[in-house]
């Protein structure tokens, strides 16, 4: 019988074809299926076969359509024609643009390569950009890690050989309790959501330690609304509770960590606090049978965690565990002592310690899987401690963040929960400890005109002798990374580049070259100050203090107006990319994986993928590795480089389908069909780790052998986790006057206080530099799940989720200052004052206010209407944060950074809050001049629509935007 109901098209034709590539709407790099219809993107879905997301797609990922068709896309190379900052440009050809860049860069390479500072933002091609910099010959390179989460990354590498997110993940299928410290939505988006889903469906506990109960914290079973900057104190208190109650895994500590390694006690002497080593340099442990010191890696030896040996030349040596007990059993870490400071009552600290112990020891997991450890000992089973943790920027972005991140790893280690069933598991090519990574290059003897540098600009130092300083101790990098300002910086200090370059400290640069870094807006502290610095001129010559700025981006961000030459990038659907094991991998704990992006659409503008442009520039400059013997370009473009570049014989950007016919994994000759093979395979490559190699990777010879076959290392590199850091102690000894390389006098106390070899806690610097009564409130940002840096809030679909960002405050604070939801407040720091709208919420630490990150926009940028809510009610907290701390008594101003890594201390911010007058204009303060759009960018339509042409109601519309 015919129905009278309207006909519903149940299987509409979605697309003409589907192309599988990798998302770039955030840093997770999920696999996506891009459905194309009539040559345009119709629909994006998750790739169900992809190891990262297994088909899951988030709001950002599906809104990639609007990112790709954004009216803010740059259209052609641009040359500045008005004053810097005015946004006045003329469109030029690529030939003109590349020649201009070559003319700027060529002479400085031949005279002083350091005059180039090349810094990238959320760049996913650091294996290329770092190598390009090395070939150019300048040490002045880093990506955005220094202002993001380097404390977590470096704290992890130096302690356990890897950190969270790209380095490893919870064992979601087996863990019993998951503890999430700080804001984490900023990284590891879909994988954590999928993991949380698994935990919830298995009924396991999720605990959140975060001043704000939002994001993942909102679905936690327990929320600890900690006071910002005190996470380290909380963690050390948990460690004390576990040690006091005997809830630590002594066997694990003895086998897999340096807790038994003998540490010399010889106060005042140059060997005090160093490991006792034999003639070969091997650290020693105390043999339980003989009471003598023996090599820690000797087979069959059982160690003591207590006791001491007398040394012939004075002093004694004790196991590092003895020092741990002395440090952490101190009453200073008692829950009752720390409760007020951390904002968590003592019974709740004790409860979490008990919960962790219960999960680790009462719920022990045993997997019947034989394996062989690094000493050749065979084990019939794998023992698991099902406690897992995760942290990223929340605990990192403090001036005490490095030690806090180390403390968190020590908490995991004493529970025996790293790289075991149910615990935290590494993702290949991690674990990889600091001593296996290269050291950074850039010392005076490693930089020469016209020459590549002797090594990569970034790496891991193992002591003062590895610093990038001259014989007088002066920093050699423009950001002062690897100097006494930030000795173990690892990712550089991008947030200091512009201010140092303008100050000519340690030297001026000639060209600042940046990629995907919105430094004139949300990526800088002291935003107005940075705009002023970018336009600052020499009073005598009238020239800009930073003479030339080259910038590459796909969009008209706020930074574009401050560059002299714009090299327009493609969108992520128009380019080649390698999600490479040489870079930031996408592996899983059970498997190795990498992936590509490839042009699923051709650009309809005069734009080029930045990596192809960089290789073109490299060839024009004659950089080694980028030109053939006859001087011609070695690579046609980035795709050609991905296939043919070898970092060393057999090792290239992609590990899959290597060998001439694609027959090899990991190692193998270049394969001309490699990219096609990836495309056929869904855009990625994946290889399972053998069952006997899946856990204990740092000490598992099956895994070590697998790692050598894959090319992660050339020989097995088993190691012990470093609870006690000899590297930190070496820096401290230097501050005490030992060794050939010592810090300047005015920095010694700071090094002595902060570089403790066992993780410690000290108050965040900003809080001790201001009058706490004048600025009693902590102020933070959190990244919304629906946004990624500044890209998201130009996206018409995502803007509907977060059109502006209020300042969230607690009910208690709202009552105190007399405001209700929708009122406006003034927020004042030692550096600045902003006027912002208020929202009142319950789940926030009562001494903390917070807002979303990077929603506010400058008028005229991103092709948004000048009265868009992002510009009238959206704001940046950045205006309140300075890259320097307030002056000390001696007039000196220290960087607002972690003293060990240089990580930007965004979350140390302290403020004063008061009600704003009711009759002020309903617009945030400060406001800035409206930026103009480049001449070749047409004004966007008033209403952006997409896909109308494919709807059944209007078949005649042209669709598009
Ligand atoms: S989590 Fe990130 S990479 Fe994955 S779909 Fe969402 S935006 Fe894309």
Mutate to test the pocket of ligand 1, among 67, 166, 189 (most ligand atoms within 8 A of CB): 189
> Cα 301–306–307 angle (5° rounding)?
95
* Measured distance CA(166)–CA(458) in Å, rounded: 18
DSSP for 902-929? --B-GGG-EEEEEEPPTTS-SS-B---P
**CA of 193, closest atom in ligand 1:** 1
Residue 636 is classified by DSSP as S
pLDDT at 957: 36
Structure tokens that stand for 27 in this block: 């840093």
- Which protein residue has the closest C-alpha to ligand 1 atom 4? 30
CA 693 to ligand 1 centroid distance, Å = 29
C-beta of 494 in contact with ligand 1 (< 6 A): no
Q: Whose CA is nearest to atom 2 of ligand 1?
A: 26
Q: Is the peptide bond before 506 cis (omega within 30 degrees of 0)?
A: yes
**Residue labelled with tokens 């006494």:** 484
The CA distance from 740 to 463, in Å, is: 11
Atom of ligand 1 nearest to the CA of 28: 3
- Evaluated on CA atoms 927, 933, 939, 945, the torsion sign reads negative
Strands (E), 47-129: 78-80, 89-91, 116-120
- Report the alpha-carbon distance of residue 853 to residue 779 in Å, rounded: 12
Indicate which atom in ligand 1 lies nearest the CA of residue 60: 7
Query: Rounded to an integer, what distance in angstroms lies between the CA atom of residue 105 and that of residue 665?
Result: 38
Q: Is 25 in the pocket of ligand 1 (CB under 6 A)?
A: yes
Cβ neighbours, 10 Å, residue 103: 11
The pLDDT of residue 892 is 78
Could you give the CA distance from residue 788 to residue 61 in angstroms, rounded to a whole number? 11
CA distance 576 to 123: 13
How many Cα atoms sit within 13 Å of 894 on the Cβ side?
24
Beta-bridge partner residues of 824: 837
Ligand 1 atom closest to residue 29's alpha carbon, by position in its atom list: 3
Could you write out the DSSP letters of every residue in 567-629?
EE---TTSS-EEE-TTSS---BTTEEEEEEE--SS--SSS---HHHHHHHHHHHTT-TTSB-T
The rounded distance, in Å, linking the Cα atoms of 812 and 808 is 12
**How many Å apart are CA 687 and CA 692, to the nearest integer?**
15
pTM of the model: 0.96
Q: Which atom of ligand 1 is nearest to the CA of 52?
A: 4
Distance, C-alpha 698 to centroid of its chain: 23
d(CA 408, CA 424): 12
- Which atom of ligand 1 lies closest to the CA of 57? 5
Using a 6 Å cutoff on CB, does residue 50 contact ligand 1? no
pLDDT of residue 451: 98
Token representation of residue 134 = 């090395």
Distance between CA atoms of 476 and 469, rounded to whole angstroms? 5
- Residue 196 to residue 531: CA distance in whole angstroms: 41
Residue 873 CA: distances (Å) to CA of 686, 804, 813, 824, 850 = 46, 6, 21, 10, 15
The DSSP H or E segment spanning 238 is helix 231-244
- Give 665-680 as a DSSP string: SSS----TTHHHHHHH
Q: Which H helix or E strand runs over 153?
A: helix 150-159
Q: Is 881 in the pocket of ligand 1 (CB under 6 A)?
A: no
pLDDT at 360: 98
Instruction: Please give the backbone phi and psi of residue 100, each rounded to the nearest 5 degrees, phi first.
Output: -60, -50
Task: Please give the Cα distance from 601 to 465 (Å, whole number).
Answer: 50
The reply to whether ligand 1 has any atom less than 6 angstroms from the CB of 382 is: no
Mutate to test the pocket of ligand 1, among 24, 53, 64 (most ligand atoms within 8 A of CB): 53
pLDDT score of 6: 63
53 Cβ below 6 A of ligand 1: yes
Averages of pLDDT over runs of 10 residues in the chain (961 residues) are: 63 89 94 96 96 95 96 97 96 98 98 97 91 98 88 97 92 97 79 95 97 92 97 98 98 98 97 97 96 93 95 94 98 98 98 98 97 95 97 94 98 98 96 96 98 97 98 97 97 94 97 96 95 97 97 96 98 97 92 98 97 98 98 98 97 98 97 98 97 97 97 95 98 98 96 98 96 97 86 89 95 97 96 97 96 94 94 96 87 89 97 91 93 91 87 47 35
Atom 8 in ligand 1: residue holding the nearest Cα = 61
Residues 184, 604 contacting (CB under 8 angstroms): no
At 406 the pLDDT is 98
pLDDT of residue 5: 64
């Amino acid at each position: 019988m015919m129905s009278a109901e309207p006909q519903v098209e149940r299987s509409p034709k979605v697309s003409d074809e589907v192309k599988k590539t990798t998302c770039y709407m955030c840093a997770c790099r999920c696999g996506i299926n891009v459905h194309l219809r009539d040559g345009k993107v119709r629909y994006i879905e998750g790739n169900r076969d992809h190891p990262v997301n297994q088909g899951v797609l988030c709001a950002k990922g599906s809104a990639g359509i609007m990112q790709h068709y954004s009216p803010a896309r740059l259209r052609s190379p641009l040359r500045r024609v008005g004053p810097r900052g005015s946004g006045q440009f003329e469109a030029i050809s690529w030939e003109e643009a590349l020649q201009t860049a070559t003319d700027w860069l060529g002479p400085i390479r031949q005279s002083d390569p350091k005059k180039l500072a090349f810094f990238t933002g959320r760049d996913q091609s650091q294996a290329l950009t770092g190598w390009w910099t090395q070939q150019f010959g300048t040490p002045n390179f880093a990506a955005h890690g220094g202002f993001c989460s380097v404390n977590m990354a470096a704290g992890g590498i130096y302690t356990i050989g890897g950190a969270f997110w790209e380095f490893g993940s919870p064992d979601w299928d087996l863990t019993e309790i998951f503890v999430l410290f700080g804001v984490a939505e900023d990284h590891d988006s879909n994988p954590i959501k999928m993991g949380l889903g698994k935990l919830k469906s298995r009924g396991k506990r999720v605990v959140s330690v975060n001043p704000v109960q939002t994001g993942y914290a909102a679905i936690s079973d327990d929320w600890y609304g900690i006071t910002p900057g005190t996470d380290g104190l909380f963690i050390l208190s948990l460690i004390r509770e576990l040690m006091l109650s005997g809830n630590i895994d002594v066997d694990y500590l003895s086998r897999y960590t340096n807790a038994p390694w003998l540490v010399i006690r010889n106060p005042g002497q140059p060997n005090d606090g160093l490991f006792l080593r034999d003639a070969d340099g091997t650290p020693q442990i105390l043999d339980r049978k003989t009471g003598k010191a023996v090599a820690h890696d000797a087979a069959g030896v059982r160690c003591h965690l207590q006791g001491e040996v007398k040394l012939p030349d004075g002093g004694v040596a004790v196991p590092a565990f003895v020092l741990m007990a002395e440090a952490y059993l101190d009453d200073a870490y008692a829950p009752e002592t720390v409760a007020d400071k951390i904002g968590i009552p003592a019974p709740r600290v004790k409860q979490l310690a008990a919960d962790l112990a219960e999960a680790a020891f009462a719920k022990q997991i045993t997997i019947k899987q034989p394996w062989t450890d690094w000493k050749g000992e065979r084990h019939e089973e794998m023992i698991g401690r099902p406690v897992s943790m995760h942290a990223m920027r929340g605990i990192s972005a403090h001036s005490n963040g490095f030690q806090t991140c180390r403390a968190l790893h020590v908490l995991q280690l004493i529970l025996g929960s790293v790289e075991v069933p149910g615990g935290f598991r590494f993702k290949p090519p991690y674990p990889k400890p600091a001593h296996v990574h290269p050291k950074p290059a850039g010392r005076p003897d490693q930089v020469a005109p016209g020459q590549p540098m002797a090594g990569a600009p970034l790496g891991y130092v193992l002591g003062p002798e590895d610093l990038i300083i001259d014989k007088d101790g002066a920093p050699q990098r423009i950001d002062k990374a690897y100097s006494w300002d930030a000795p173990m910086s690892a990712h550089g200090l991008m947030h200091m580049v512009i201010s140092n370059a303008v100050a000519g400290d340690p030297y001026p640069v000639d060209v600042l070259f940046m990629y995907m870094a919105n430094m004139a807006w949300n990526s800088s502290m002291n935003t107005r100050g940075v705009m002023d610095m970018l336009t600052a001129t020499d009073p005598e010559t009238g020239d800009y203090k930073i003479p030339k700025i080259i910038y590459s981006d796909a969009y008209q961000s706020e930074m574009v107006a401050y560059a002299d030459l714009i090299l327009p990038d493609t969108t992520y659907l128009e380019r080649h990319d390698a999600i490479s094991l040489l870079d930031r991998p996408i592996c899983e704990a059970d498997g190795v994986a990498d992936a590509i992006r490839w042009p699923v659409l051709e650009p309809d503008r005069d734009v080029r993928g930045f990596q192809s442009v960089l290789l073109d520039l490299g060839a024009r400059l004659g950089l080694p590795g980028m030109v053939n013997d006859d001087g011609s370009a070695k690579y046609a473009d980035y795709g050609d480089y991905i296939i043919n570049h070898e970092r060393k014989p057999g090792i290239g950007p992609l590990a899959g389908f290597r060998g001439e016919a694609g027959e090899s994994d990991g190692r193998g000759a270049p394969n001309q069909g490699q990219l096609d093979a990836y495309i056929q395979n869904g855009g990625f490559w994946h290889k399972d780790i053998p069952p006997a190699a899946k856990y204990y990777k740092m000490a598992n010879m099956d895994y070590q052998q697998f790692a050598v076959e894959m090319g992660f290392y050339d020989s097995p590199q088993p190691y012990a986790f470093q609870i006690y850091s000899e590297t930190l102690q070496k820096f401290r000894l230097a501050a005490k006057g030992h060794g050939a390389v010592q810090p300047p006098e005015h920095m010694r106390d700071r090094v002595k206080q902060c570089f403790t070899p066992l993780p410690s806690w000290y108050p965040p610097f900003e809080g001790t530099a201001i009058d706490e009564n004048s600025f009693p409130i902590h102020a933070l940002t959190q990244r919304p799940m629906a946004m990624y840096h500044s890209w998201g809030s130009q996206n018409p679909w995502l803007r509907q989720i977060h059109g502006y960002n209020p300042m969230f405050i607690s009910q208690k604070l709202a009552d105190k200052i007399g405001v209700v939801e929708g009122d406006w407040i003034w927020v004042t720091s030692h550096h600045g004052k902003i006027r912002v709208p208020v929202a009142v919420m319950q789940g926030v630490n009562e001494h903390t206010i917070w807002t979303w990150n990077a929603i506010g926009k400058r008028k005229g940028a991103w092709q948004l209407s000048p009265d868009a809510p992002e510009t009238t009610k959206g704001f940046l907290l950045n205006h309140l944060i300075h890259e320097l701390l307030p002056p000390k008594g001696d007039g000196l101003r220290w960087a607002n950074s972690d003293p060990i890594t240089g990580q930007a201390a965004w979350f140390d911010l302290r403020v004063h809050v008061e009600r704003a007058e009711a009759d002020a204009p309903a617009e945030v303060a400060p406001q800035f001049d409206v930026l103009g759009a480049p001449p070749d960018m047409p004004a966007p339509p008033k209403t952006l629509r997409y896909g109308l042409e494919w709807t059944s109601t209007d078949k005649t519309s042209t669709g598009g935007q």
